[in-house]
Amino acid sequence: MSLSNAGETGRLIDIGPARVNAAPMDADENLPRRKDDLVVQLGRQDLDPLSVEELTERITLLEAEIDRTRSKISRSINHRASADALFKK
C-alpha cells in the first residue's frame, strides 16, 4: 500500500507488530563481569596441583553451593508467585 491511497483504507502503512528481539534478554547479559567474579576465578584455577582428595572436597563444596543456589531460585519463584497472587485480587 502506498501513501497515495492511504485515505482509502484509513491506514498509512500496513506493517506487522514490531519485534525488537526474537528472544528475551537477560538484563545483566550485556554487562561486563566484575574482575573479582568468583565464577571466573574458579574456572581459571589450575586443578593440576590438587590431589584426588582435594578435588573430591572441591566437588562436594561446589555441589553444596549449587544446592544453595537452587534453593534461592525456588524461594524467589515462590515469592514472586505470592506477590503476583496478592496483587491480582
pLDDT tens readout for residues 75-86: 998 888 887 777
Query: pTM value?
Result: 0.51
User: Are 14 and 1 spatial neighbours (Cβ–Cβ below 8 Å)?
Assistant: yes
Q: Which of 30, 31, 33, 32 is nearest to 43 (CA)?
A: 33
Confidence of residue 58 (pLDDT cuts 50, 70, 90): very high
Mean pLDDT over residues 55-84, rounded?
Answer: 92
The tens digit of pLDDT for each residue in 20-31 reads: 555 555 666 666
Polymer length of the chain: 89
42-68 in b/e form (b: 16+ CB < 10 A) is eeeeeeeeeeeeeeeeeeeeeeeeeee
- Here the cell at position 30 is 550485556
